[in-house]
């Protein structure tokens, strides 16, 4: 029997930190039967988070998810620091004792917790760590630069604003246009969706660029147009190192900038986000020494704008501010952004 997932997102499903659950629901191929969040229980997932596209029931307890037929409990939250709180551990133990497999993308690995390991062994269940990384990583060799592939990389103004979703939407558009397009996951949610990849924020700092290069090499075995998922932001005081390592390791031909509409500062930090044209230029200057790459388009996340006309007005304003084509690919479709990427690929001679 294939997995039937329960997404555990206690207290945070409606929050941006619930992005792992949101991504699995919208883009994953596995069946999701319930979301566990007592603060929004009784509603459906698509009522709490716009554009999830599926009316999955939200329940208050793990046992209710079991009663709905769940076979695997997945932590659907990406908390700051990636730690496993005691309350979450208790829920995972409850799931194991109820006969569920358990999956998570935390820095606190499930397989390193003796209580979880003992419970999994007792009940014959699986523990899966989405952030697990190979132990033979090293610095880049330059091999990725020599491969006959084209790399598009999503970058952003902040964390948790849709870089993964933008990449997945662009893969869909490129595939529909007949390209051998591949989504290259670099975070735990992407790994959970695609079934391969690497959570680069779990990699030793010296090896992040090498990890990105390895992902490009592995992606080249799947297709010739790679959409490498971005992480963090060059502006972010906590996570910019991962962003830079990815940018230098992937060596993209084209960039797409993600931005959350109506935000002026990094979330939870007193760090101003510069005008979008300046931010595009910052990414371009940073990429240029290894391989010049232009920001071909801006993907504007308008999920907090209820009215479609207001969302389109925000998109038009962002387009004027950035000087680049702009759209919300989740809300209105990726076609316009894909057309901009396609034009840029042709301009740099990377369109196969």
Whether residue 80 contacts residue 15, with contact meaning beta carbons closer than 8 Å, is answered with: no
CATH number of 143-347: 3.40.50.300
The predicted structure's pLDDT at residue 18:
86
Enter the DSSP assignment of 44: B
Class for the domain spanning 4-129:
alpha beta
- Strand (E) or helix (H) holding 257: strand 254-260
List pLDDT tens digits, range 166-193.
Answer: 999 999 999 999 999 999 999 999 999 9
The chain-wide mean pLDDT, for the chain, equals 94
Q: Is 263 exposed, middle or buried (0-12, 13-18, 19+ CB in 10 A)?
A: middle
Beta-carbon count within 10 A of 207 CB: 21
Confidence band, pLDDT 50/70/90 cuts, at residue 348: confident
Q: So what's the pLDDT on residue 295?
A: 98
For the stretch 57-79, pLDDT in tens is: 999 999 999 999 999 999 998 77
Using an 8 Å Cβ cutoff, are 284 and 293 in contact? yes
- Strand pairing class (58-59; 127-129): unpaired
Dihedral angle computed from the Cα positions of residues 102, 103, 108 and 110, in that order, rounded to the nearest 10 degrees: 40
Q: Which residue intervals of the chain bear CATH 3.40.50.300?
A: 143-347
The percent of residues above 90 in pLDDT, for the chain, comes to: 85
Instruction: Calculate mean pLDDT across residues 142-170.
Output: 95
Asked whether residue 49 carries a pLDDT value surpassing 90, the answer given is no
pTM of the model: 0.90
In this model, does residue 351 exceed pLDDT 80? Answer: no
Show contacts of 173-176: CB within 8 Å, 24+ apart.
Answer: 173/329, 173/333, 173/334, 173/335, 173/337, 173/338, 174/225, 174/227, 174/338, 174/341
* pLDDT tens for each residue of 289-306: 999 999 999 999 999 999
DSSP reduced 3-state for 78: coil
Q: Cβ–Cβ contacts within 10 Å for residue 60, how many?
A: 15
Chain position carrying tokens 């945070």:
12
Q: Specify which of 17-21, 85-89, 331-335 reaches the highest per-range mean pLDDT.
A: 331-335
Ranges for all domains in the chain classified under CATH 3.40.50.720: 4-129
């Amino acid at each position: 029997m294939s997995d039937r997932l329960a997404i555990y997102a206690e207290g945070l499903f409606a929050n941006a930190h619930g992005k792992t659950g949101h991504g699995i629901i919208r883009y994953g191929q596995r069946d999701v039967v319930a979301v566990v969040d007592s603060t929004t229980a009784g509603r459906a997932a698509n009522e709490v988070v716009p554009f999830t596209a599926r009316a999955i029931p939200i329940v208050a307890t793990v046992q209710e998810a079991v009663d709905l037929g769940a076979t695997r409990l997945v932590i659907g939250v990406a908390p700051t620091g990636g730690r496993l709180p005691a309350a979450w551990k208790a829920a995972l133990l409850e799931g194991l004792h109820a006969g569920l497999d358990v999956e998570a993308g935390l820095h606190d690995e499930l397989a390193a917790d003796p209580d979880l390991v003992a419970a999994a062994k007792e009940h014959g269940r699986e523990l899966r760590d989405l952030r697990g990384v190979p132990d033979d990583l090293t610095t880049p060799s330059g091999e990725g630069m020599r491969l006959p592939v084209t790399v598009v990389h999503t970058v952003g103004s902040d964390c948790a604003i849709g870089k993964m979703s933008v990449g997945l939407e662009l893969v869909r558009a490129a595939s529909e246009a007949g390209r051998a397009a591949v989504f290259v996951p670099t975070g735990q949610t992407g790994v959970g969706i695609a079934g391969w990849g690497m959570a680069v924020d779990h990699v030793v700092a010296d090896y992040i660029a090498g990890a990105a290069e390895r992902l490009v090499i592995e992606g080249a075995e799947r297709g010739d147009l790679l959409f490498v998922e971005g992480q963090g932001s060059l502006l972010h005081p906590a996570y910019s190192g991962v962003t830079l390592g990815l940018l230098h390791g992937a060596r993209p031909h084209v960039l797409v900038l993600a931005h959350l509409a109506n935000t002026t500062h990094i979330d939870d930090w007193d760090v101003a986000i510069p005008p979008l044209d300046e931010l595009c230029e910052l990414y371009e200057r940073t990429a240029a020494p290894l391989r010049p790459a232009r920001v071909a388009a801006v993907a504007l996340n308008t999920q907090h704008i209820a009215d479609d006309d207001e969302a389109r007005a925000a998109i038009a304003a962002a387009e004027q501010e950035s000087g680049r084509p702009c759209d919300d690919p989740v809300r209105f479709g990726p076609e316009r952004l894909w057309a901009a990427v396609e034009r840029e690929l042709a301009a740099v001679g990377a369109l196969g």
